[in-house]
Amino acid sequence: MTNKTLSPGDILDAYCTKCRKMMNHTLIALVDEKPSRVKCNTCEGEHNFRNPPKTKKSASSGRTTAAATKKALAIEAKKTEQREEWEKSCAALANTSPTTYSMDIVVKAKTLVQHKKFGLGVVQNVIGENKMTVLFQDGEKLLRCG
């Protein structure tokens, strides 16, 4: 390979601060045989020579940490526990018919609610006058009530 020595007037690729991307530039000045000052051939802007900005490495190295594994296991255990509790509650209330959910229904704890999106749920408790926590098959949800 031959190393071409640079001289003023040569065309080279540099990062343009005005265009904010790699563009062709004309070399204006050298310092210690390295490009120092360049002029963009696109926007005619004159600035110091800049190499392309470095790309950031992705934060993920492909390995999972012990903390992430523990957290995932804890979440999965909680989901399993909630699903089992939902099944028991539905079985205990099997002889009652569910109330169709709307935002203005008035419900009590330990009653069945049928939701359009989440399906069959069991009211865990009523919070204040207008909120309730309902346990569905896929987890607990906070819903508005009358």
Cα distances (Å, whole numbers) of residue 51 to 15, 89, 93, 138: 6, 65, 70, 52
In a domain, 18, yes or no: yes
Residue scoring higher pLDDT (97 or 58): 97
pLDDT in tens, 32-58: 888 899 999 999 999 999 887 776 665
pLDDT (mean) for 53-67? 68
Cα distances (Å, whole numbers) of residue 80 to 83, 86, 138: 5, 10, 9
- Reported as a pLDDT band with limits 50, 70 and 90, residue 59 is low
Q: Is residue 40 helix, strand or coil?
A: strand
Q: In 3D, which of 27, 45, 25 has the Cα closest to residue 37?
A: 27
Are 85 and 129 in a shared domain? yes
Residue 143 predicted with pLDDT over 60? yes
CA–CA separation, 108 and 82 (whole Å):
20
In a domain, 6, yes or no: no
In a domain, 127, yes or no: yes
Are 137 and 87 in a shared domain? yes
Mean pLDDT rounded to a whole number for the chain? 87
Is 100 in contact with 64 (CB distance < 8 Å)?
A: no
Are 84 and 39 in a shared domain? no
Q: In 3D, which of 146, 138, 107 has the Cα closest to residue 124?
A: 107
Are 43 and 89 in a shared domain? no
CA–CA separation, 129 and 112 (whole Å):
18
In a domain, 72, yes or no: no
In a domain, 126, yes or no: yes
Give residues with Cβ within 8 angstroms of 112, minimum separation 6: 90, 93, 96, 97, 98, 99, 120, 121, 122, 123
In a domain, 30, yes or no: yes
Are 134 and 86 in a shared domain? yes
Residue ranges of E strands in the chain: 11-16, 21-31, 34-40, 46-48, 99-100, 112-115, 119-127, 131-136, 139-144
Are 126 and 86 in a shared domain? yes
pLDDT (mean) for 49-69? 73
Q: Which domain holds residue 116?
A: 79-144
For residue 64 the two structure tokens come to 């999972």
In a domain, 64, yes or no: no
In a domain, 104, yes or no: yes
Are 44 and 86 in a shared domain? no
The total number of structural domains in the chain stands at 2
Residue 95 predicted with pLDDT over 50? yes
Are 43 and 97 in a shared domain? no
Are 84 and 136 in a shared domain? yes
